[in-house]
Amino acid sequence: MKRALLAAALVALAPAGSRAADEQPAAEVSAHQFTVYSRGGVQAYLSPNRSTGMFGGSLGVRDTIHGRFILQADVGYLMNFGNVVPVQVAAGIQRKGFYTPAALMTLTGFLGDRLTFVTPDHPSVNRIPPMALGVLLAPARFTVAGGQLSLLEFGLGLSPEFPGLGVAYQLNLVDVGVSF
């Protein structure tokens, strides 16, 4: 009889205990995770009448919202076709967890030196810095509590060059970020 009462009491208490644990508020996940990042690689803009960029790196800030949505901005320095300052803003989405591949829409401006080609189609030099709208894919990206590491990011963008199109290429060999 005592065993039956003890078993009934344990059965009755077990769901109550688990319900109490379920009702406990979970540790709140921060809505925003701010990261300072640096990356290095190749970034170039090529069109029928001008070329700019090449090797270098950049420094930027990133906000990851709810571990899923990304907003970032960076400024860098490129050399080879002169001294170039690429300025890029991007927004995208990533997978949650440790392995966090991402896809971002980018807007990149190339300020500074460039090689210019005067052709019959382009009889004058275009003084406006090229701006390219594109996509950046980060398939080998990893996130841990204190930061992020991304290897081999690929980007491609387009810009109107009248007549024709300019193409912006981006290959980031490494992107390292520290969260705070």
Q: Could you tell me if 50 and 130 are in contact, meaning their C-beta atoms sit under 8 angstroms apart?
A: yes
**Where does the pLDDT of residue 6 fall: very low under 50, low under 70, confident under 90, or very high at 90 and above?**
very low
Residue in the block written with tokens 């270098």: 56
| CATH number, domain with residue 47 | 2.40.160.20
Number of domains into which the chain is organized: 1
User: Which residues are CB-contacts of 117 (< 8 A; sequence separation ≥ 6)?
Assistant: 48, 49, 50
- Domain holding 164, by residue range, is 30-179
Any domain includes 19: no
16 located within any domain: no
Interval 14-59: pLDDT, tens: 444 444 434 434 445 578 999 999 999 999 999 888 889 889 999 9
**Stated length of the chain:** 180
What CA–CA distance (Å, rounded) separates 164 from 160? 7
Q: Does residue 103 form part of some domain?
A: yes
The model's pTM: 0.79
